[in-house]
Amino acid sequence: MPVDDKALATSAADALRQVVDLPRRADPRRDGLTGLLDNRTLHRALTGKIRTANRRGDDIGLLFLDLDRFKHVNDRHGHVIGSRILSQVARLIGVAARQAGGFAARYGGDEFVVVLPCVDLDLSLRHAESLRAALEATILAGGQPPRRRPLVHVTCTIGAASLRQQGGDDGALSPERAATRMLQQADNAMYAAKHAGRNRVAAADASATGAA
């Protein structure tokens, strides 16, 4: 069958265009490594959820998660394997967030945030503990398929906060300021849990709970 030079040229041009367009077609709202929402999109999405929650009188839970001593993974196995492990952790976090009716974002490095609309602080803590336990029980494959080794085990520490936990002036804050405050509260709780021993969950302005 004779080759149609014109069709071949058109096909090649289309293929080249697809390759060139790949970076532009990537979702600009998502982190390139993990596929989760990126930090900037997180702030916009959280602000929007707070605006809706204020209108309806709902609560919002927020989890701030940090992997424990993840630098050791990079130091021991290298950053390529570290990136594979981060991607797998992100998938686990993303699934957990969706199952709880929320969404997840990569905050930066090995830090992640889960937003849980219509969830109060107590339920946020239960979701956080389930997520912590699930990660602790998971063995992650550092090798490229079909090779799995090195097998890596990581744990995490999680701080939880909620929009209504103070029962006070959240409605008086702008949604943008309320979002910043929630992130700061959950981040502070996470660091308090780190200082208490890592691999545990803590609520903002509460004692740490979970495994030592």
CATH number, domain at 192? 3.30.70.270
In a domain, 12, yes or no: no
Would you state the pLDDT for residue 147? Answer: 80
Kindly report, residue by residue over 66-100, the tens digit of the pLDDT. 999 999 999 999 999 999 999 999 999 999 999 99
In a domain, 3, yes or no: no
Would you state the pLDDT for residue 167? Answer: 52
In a domain, 201, yes or no: yes
Residue 28 pLDDT greater than 90, yes or no: no
Residue 13 pLDDT greater than 70, yes or no: no
Domain encompassing residue 85: 30-209
Question: pLDDT exceeding 90 applies to what percent of the chain?
Answer: 75
In a domain, 8, yes or no: no
Q: Would residue 110 show up in a list of annotated catalytic residues for this protein? A: yes
In a domain, 39, yes or no: yes
In a domain, 24, yes or no: no
- Residue among 37, 190, 38, 164 nearest 102 (CA): 37
Residue 4 pLDDT greater than 60, yes or no: no
Residue 169 pLDDT greater than 70, yes or no: no
Count of domains forming the chain: 1
In a domain, 19, yes or no: no
In a domain, 145, yes or no: yes
Q: Is 188 exposed, middle or buried (0-12, 13-18, 19+ CB in 10 A)?
A: middle
Pairs from 68-72 (Cβ < 8 Å, separation ≥ 24): 68/154, 68/155, 68/156, 68/157, 68/194, 68/198, 68/199, 69/198, 70/109, 70/110, 70/154
Active-site position among 38, 66, 110, 170? 110
Residue 174 pLDDT greater than 60, yes or no: yes
